[in-house]
Chain A
């Protein structure tokens, strides 16, 4: 099972990387660019009996290691 886990900083939390990239784009002349954001995506294969089982396991991984609930939200997609 192919699994994609997208991790994003919680809404309202300052993302200095995205802010810097946005400013750089503006400096390059793209004055119409705003609200730049970044995400982190994990790609993995999980050997599981069903999508639900894989998703459940991925969710556990997110809570145990892949994300920090204080600052990040996540979304899991199984394919």
Chain B
């Protein structure tokens, strides 16, 4: 069973549920942030949206909710946690992933399809992609410019934690073209693009489906 963590202001929660249930034929359920109990779940998705209205900093308030302590324990057990867009911001703000997501250089909310290079093919969410492969996914964010200090960037590179880099055009000014990263263990991944919005042909692309297939495969192999 995969949980989709729902905060006030999440708005891609049902899209992820649709991708998991209807496209991947997997068991998935919404988990309201007040529920706290994550036992019984094999994986967790923190979906996109504007939790708490993006006030203070995107994802900052959701990241301080008590359920995040449970997510931290959940991740420490090696279970897969995927943060998409606002979910990525929440994972960074909570310290589950290093770095921060800041305002796009253009100051504009950008909603478009982008190309990315797959830079990691070993994480729980990328093991079935090929390193160097180009994938196309939609983005929709105003605060997606990834930033971290030099030491952290060196570590990310050394450990192969940079999973996706924008290719051709860097839409938000992200450091080193970073679109998505994972933790050292590879079971927590955050990315700004939306894999759930490109998980079936009718949506204009299918490159995101593999990310959920990887997650399900990883869960099976555990």
Which residues of A are in contact with B by a Cβ distance under 8 Å?
A: 13-14, 16-17, 20, 64-66, 68, 70-71
Contacts and interface: CB of A to CB of B under 8 A. Distances in A.
A23 B148 CA distance: 26
B106 interface: yes
B103 A17 contact: yes
Nearest to A64: B64
Interface of chain B, main secondary structure: loop
A65 B147 contact: no
A49 to B, nearest CB: 26
B117 interface: no
- How big is chain B's contact interface, by range? 20 to 34
A66 B55 CA distance: 11
A79 B107 CA distance: 35
Contacts of A17: 103, 107
A70 B60 contact: no
Interface in B146-160: 147-149
A16 B107 contact: yes
B134 interface: no
Contact of A70 (B64, B106, B147): B147
